[in-house]
Structure 1
Amino acid sequence: DDRVQKWGIEPPSSQEGGSSGDGLLDFMSRMMMSSSTSSMEYYKHNLENPELQFIDSLIERRSKYNNSDEITAAMKFTHVVRIELCECEKDVWRRVRVPSGIGLSIFHDQVICPVMGWARGYHGYAYEDPRDGTVIGPAKNSAYIDTMHVPMHYKKVMDDKGCPLAALLIKKGDIAYYNYDLGDGWMHRLVLEDIVAEEDSVTLMAGEGACPPEDSNGLDSKGCGAYADFLKAYKRNPKKMKMKEAVKEASRSINYSKPWAGGPPISFKPLEFNIRYHRMLLTLMLA
């Protein structure tokens, strides 16, 4: 699909002409490589293993690009970005207008979380650039417990502080990915729909569908695929007892039972999007 999914050095495929997968066998192979005698020698001498040294060189190269004249010029505009939940693209999406120079850490905390409906400061995240496999996220002093999954998924992330949105989405039509909750894996697709004249404000323009429940509460499994299955079943028969129980359990998730902006618990309504409420959250966050 022309998408570079991760950086690093992947173990060779066991099948000629094949590729290494993203599942359990791939993970086990990677862990065996990282725990090999040679890797232990690097650790003993306080050196990173060759793969991490390679990633460090990619980070250095990307950092220079982020600070280039091209990106500095691109930051003087406004991005119109569609944020859509993968596998549920037609059911759960938001459209926002943001300054092109907004930092990716701020974009996560002050834009994506309030417009989507995720709890603030609850889970970790990472941005993925499909052009070259760069992974950008909270690399330093991260308090998110799910950053423990970084070595398994990405090996290492480039720190997102100081990295502007304009360096991730450059021209109209560009696509990047935002992975929220590295344990459950809520993958969002970020699509740059337009670049317009510079504005200082951040605007939630449109959207559809409720935010999934944190921790996949009420779902049969975790993440986007499980939520897509839930929505299909819910549309077929929302009055079915299993659906009622799932909605009730989802309403107990922290992003519905304990809204970070305060106020009473919110009922989880899968097919509804209260744009006025989410605009209020966005305003509070940016105040």
Structure 2
Amino acid sequence: MVKTATCSGEWWKQRAVESSRNAADQAVVLEGITVACPGKLILDAIDLRVPLGCICGLLGPNGAGKTSLLRLIAGLLKPGQGRAIVLGMEIPARAEAVRRLIGYVPERDGLYDEMRVRDHLEHVARLVLPHDRQRRQAQLREVIRILALDEVLDEWCGSLSAGFRKRVALARALLGEPKLLLLDEVTNELDPLARVDFLTWLREWQRARPDRTVIFATHVLSDALVVCDRFVVLGRGKVIASVTRDELKTPEGDERKLEEALRTLLVRA
């Protein structure tokens, strides 16, 4: 049966309603997302779902599209085609509201090098929570505590080690108590001890807040294996695979083949 224009319009409206209902337990729903710049396809017909309450590893080689995908989820990049729902809200239409619920740590941390750590965090807190001084001060104390920043509060941001820069960037992202935390290659430049400390912190932070979701973009498979319970493999702007940790285990529950399975998927990327 051929649909009339009116029926077709109603069909699309119904599809949108069903999609929104199906997104109720999802932090991110992407349907047919395409992003292009002149002469290059950056994201190619991406279909992806990330459930609430997980740590999702976004894996792939440099240039796979990880940063572009995070920027799109954060409402900083508009799709050319497709539909994106983040925390139950469609973007770009409600991108501003979505950004208020997201903490984003880009690969380049964007700290104000000419400011002291304390002043930088207080400045960001005033932007995030401009009308609630009591809550603002409570959150500042909390992020300083959980990321152990007391010893560097009076240091200039520009003088910090790579490890402390990441901690300050994370503290900034956690102000406002985000429902969704986006991390872009945050373990780059960390020494082995700082890397272990960060991964331990991330796992414990999310476990203590099971309603929060983390998307952790990295090209370092070993980092993702430590903390993630879900994996999305990107290659040349396409989703190569989207699998859970349990799906990659052997029937006996053995995780020893997990790394091998993911490496096989990454080769395809």
TM-score by length of 1: 0.24
- Highest RCO, 1 vs 2 (Cα 8 Å, sep ≥ 6): 2
Give the structure with the larger strand fraction. 2
TM-score by length of 2: 0.25
Give the structure with the larger helix fraction. 2
